[in-house]
Structure 1
């Protein structure tokens, strides 16, 4: 550990799929590295793997590794890597895989021994089914982590953000903050939408806006990191750890 005795960690979720969770997670990792932290990433469940040089890879997991300063063994970073690019429970059924949340928790516990901070990226939205009785919200609860919510700024985002924040709070988890990610460059009234979400989440959950990530093409996590209030997030994580 380079700057604190106990490692920090957070769970990154989103208002939907394809709204930039991996991009924002990579930006957070770059920001933590800039602050001198040994930063590692976990993508516990990833669907959509491809073979490269005889090994299975996943695009999201590879992007997270590229932004990390500590590389975890693939089996620890992504305990469940599925080939089919489908909802996790569907891909798992096709490949005869059963998700074991306790195994993911054990991998996370070991990851905390290897880094100052571990960013855990969820899969899809906050309540994507994993089994007949468990979803990704159950995974976040089992990990006992503060949550950062990525809001994809597009039509309908206000309701999606408020519903997801409500679901996070209902599970007894701390919403450590949220990030507005400009996924739709043609969205009308983006600033007004951001202001509305910001007011609701601050008032109802004391959750700050950690930053607004502009639409970037190509994606550049290092540029996005500059838009995020990394120090404020670290203060929240350290407070939650006490």
Structure 2
């Protein structure tokens, strides 16, 4: 089983968009893949439970199906930081609870599990813990989604530096063009290629039509997909 954690440079970097595309890539290669969204806020009631639009996108993109609460075990209505929403709901999020939920995902029969984080890399899950500690404990290889917009250089480099300080295995990054007319898009992309300490895996160009992913060989190698 291959497992990856997809994080972003900030809340709107495009983690769900990219994770969905990666699940569809695995589907094209006839792989059994599932998405996992452990924490989600900004949920709405449907079918007598809180559901999150991002989690539903992952479910639609996967080739392995599972019940909603397996894919998204912690769902909160307010569109605020999950640890604050959890406190308001009287729910305690711990690394042990996340690991227990992750075991449920592992039992669904997938060959690939793509776990999408919430917000950026330094996401609190409580007043004393962060999601990245759970990622490290589970020894998950990390993919960083860089939302290509003003400020992305700072966000990406700070995130990378923190990952390195923790000894996180970040296998690479994906550039997601979130704005159609970003000033000096190519220059920023080149700057990231020069400065980030891990390789680029893919580029997701801005598109109002069918989303596409420009794939680098490194991504195929890490996913063990035939070129």
Structure-2-length-normalised TM-score: 0.92
**C-alpha deviation, 1:126, in angstroms:** 0.2
Counterparts of 1:67 and 1:105, CA distance in 2? 23
- Is 1:213 aligned to 2:199, yes or no? no
- Is 1:40 aligned to 2:34, yes or no? yes
Counterparts of 2:221 and 2:99, CA distance in 1? 24
Counterparts of 2:218 and 2:63, CA distance in 1? 21
**C-alpha deviation, 1:122, in angstroms:** 0.3
1:126-165 equivalences under 5 Å are 126-165=121-160
Q: Is the 8 A contact 1:24 1:224 kept in 2?
A: no
1:70-95 alpha-carbon deviations (Å, 9 max, x no partner):
12222221121111111111111111
The counterpart of 2:93, out of the listed 83, 95, 99, is: 99
Q: Is the 8 A contact 2:37 2:116 kept in 1?
A: yes
Q: Is the 8 A contact 1:44 1:122 kept in 2?
A: yes
Q: Is the 8 A contact 2:145 2:176 kept in 1?
A: yes
Structure-1-length-normalised TM-score: 0.87
- Higher mean displacement: 7-16 or 192-201: 192-201
Structure 1 alignment gaps of length 5 or more = 1-6
1:24-39 equivalences under 5 Å are 24-39=18-33
**C-alpha deviation, 1:173, in angstroms:** 1.0
- Higher mean displacement: 149-158 or 209-218: 209-218
**C-alpha deviation, 1:35, in angstroms:** 1.4
**C-alpha deviation, 1:103, in angstroms:** 2.1
Structure 2 alignment gaps of length 5 or more = none
**C-alpha deviation, 1:152, in angstroms:** 0.5
